[in-house]
Structure 1
Amino acid sequence: MQNINPTDLVDEAGACRFLGGEQTPVHRSTLWRGINSGRYPTPLKIGPATNRWRVSELADFLEKAAAEAAAERKAAAERKAAAERNGEAA
């Protein structure tokens, strides 16, 4: 993706690429399911059939998701280490 400023707005295809990457963008139906479930940021409605996403909101979502995944990996590793110390099967 070209250089993007956090204050930029992206269209649906841009949001899909931002969330999934250039090679494997998120499918548009996955994007909308995520929006409807509250997982992904909601777009700005700038016209009757025109939506745009703030790059900063998409980036914040990715940072939060990465932090949650890292915390879960750390917690799993701690549980495994505790089980091994107690002689339990992992």
Structure 2
Amino acid sequence: MATDSGCRGFQEFFQSWTDPTWGDWAHTGIHAGDLNGEGRDDLAAVRDYTDGRMKMWTWTAKTGGTFNSPLGSWNPATGWNYDRLTLIGQHH
């Protein structure tokens, strides 16, 4: 992650979240937006698991540019197809 330096550039990169058990990012779609209305960009990841499950994880932004631990924010019944999913909507 890199934060805005205020001079049309970015500060040094830093790690904002890690989890060695996350697994394969190839089956994950990342989306950004103010998801909770506090004025900072949050992240949402839709993860397609190999056993047919799908789940959305949400990382809310902290003031220093890092993120809180992910929250499982959507866990649909089986039968959803990640390849046919399009996330749309109004973010705060």
Which of the five TM-score ranges fits, normalised by the shorter chain? Answer: under 0.3
User: Which has more radius of gyration?
Assistant: 1
By relative contact order (CA 8 Å, sep 6+), the higher-ranking structure is 1
Structure (1 or 2) with the greater strand fraction: 2
- Per the normalisation by structure 2, the TM-score is 0.24
Structure (1 or 2) with the greater helix fraction: 1
- Per the normalisation by structure 1, the TM-score is 0.24
